[in-house]
Amino acid sequence: MATQFGEKVRELREQQHLYLRQVAPLLEMDTAQLSKIEKGSRQLKREQIPLLAGILKANADELLVLWLADQLYDVVKDEDVALKAMDAAQQTIKSKKKQNRNK
Amino acid sequence: MATQFGEKVRELREQQHLYLRQVAPLLEMDTAQLSKIEKGSRQLKREQIPLLAGILKANADELLVLWLADQLYDVVKDEDVALKAMDAAQQTIKSKKKQNRNK
DNA sequence: TTATATTTGCCAATATCTGACAGGTCAATT
DNA sequence: AATTGACCTGTCAGATATTGGCAAATATAA
C-alpha cells in the first residue's frame, strides 16, 4: 500500500514544516487527497511532479524516478517472473535508446 | 505501437498454421480483437495468457514475461529517467523477495 | 471478379480513476 | 471532558479510459 513516492513526499513536507492544508491548495486538491497520495492509495498526476518538487524544494527528477518506480512495481508486484520481466523491459529500453542515437 | 507479446503470438500462431478466426473464438473474442492484440493496440487480459499458451503450444511463463515487459515498457517509454526508474523498481522487488523468505 | 484473411474505424458498454465532502481518529490544549 | 488542529478514511457521482462488437476497408491469392 505504501509507496516510495508518498513516503518521500511526506518526509520532504515535514522537513519544510508544512501542513497538508498548506500544500494541498497549491496542487489544487483537498487535504484528503494529498493525504491519500502520501499514503499511496492515490496517484499524483505525472505532470504535477515538477510543481510539487518546487513546493518541497526537492529535485523533480528524483521524485519522478520514485513515482515511476512505484508504477513499475505495481505492474509486477504479484508476479513470480517479476525480475525476468524487468530484465526484458530493460533490454527493450536500451535497444530503443540505441536506435534514437542513430537517427 | 507493436508489442513483443503481440509479435510473439503472431509468430506462434503462424507456426501452428492457425488463422485468427480459429484462435479468436477459443479466447471468446472476435478476429478483430485478436488482430489488434497481435498488433499491440489492445491488451490481452492477464488471466487469458495460460489459455492462449495452451492453444499455441507455448510456454505460459515465457508469454507472461513478454506481456509484463510490454506493460512495464509502456510506463516509462517516454521518460528520460526510464532506466533509473527500472533500477529503483528492481531494488524494491529484490528487497520484498528477501522479506518473504524470512517470514 | 470472388473468396478468404486480416485490419481499421467507430461507438456503446463497461471498467477504472478522481474530486469532493462528511465524518472519523488522535494528540495537545484549555 | 470539551475544543481545536492535523490528518485519515469511506463513499459515491462524475470524469476518463478501456473493451467488445460490428461494419467496412484492405490485402492476397485464385
Query: How many angstroms away from the CA of B75 is the closest CA of chain A?
Result: 7
Instruction: Answer whether B67's CB lies under 8 Å from B46's CB.
Output: yes
Long-range CB pairs of B55-59, under 8 A, 24+ apart, other chains included: B55/B18, B55/B23, B55/B26, B55/B27, B56/B9, B56/B12, B56/B13, B56/B15, B56/B16, B56/B18, B56/B23, B57/B12, B57/B16, B58/B8, B58/B12
Residue range B34-62, pLDDT digits in tens: 999 999 999 999 999 999 999 999 999 99
Query: Average pLDDT in the B8-33 region?
Result: 97
A75 vs B contacts (CB less than 8 Å): 68, 71-72, 75
User: Is A45 an interface residue toward B (CB < 8 Å)?
Assistant: no
Q: What is the pLDDT of residue A103?
A: 53
Distance A3 CA to D10 C1' (A): 21
pLDDT band at B103 (very low <50, low <70, confident <90, very high): low
Q: What is the pLDDT of residue B99?
A: 79
Instruction: Answer whether A38's CB lies under 8 Å from A10's CB.
Output: yes
Query: Average pLDDT in the B66-91 region?
Result: 97
Q: What is the pLDDT of residue A101?
A: 67
Distance A18 CA to C29 C1' (A): 21
pLDDT band at B26 (very low <50, low <70, confident <90, very high): very high
> Do B92 and A64 lie within an 8 Å CB cutoff?
no
Q: What is the pLDDT of residue B97?
A: 74
Q: Which residues of chain A have pLDDT under 50?
A: none
Q: End-to-end CA distance of chain B, in Å?
A: 42
User: Could you tell me the sign of the dihedral formed by the alpha carbons of A40, A46, A48, A49, in that order?
Assistant: positive
Distance (Å, whole) CA A43 – CA A36 = 8
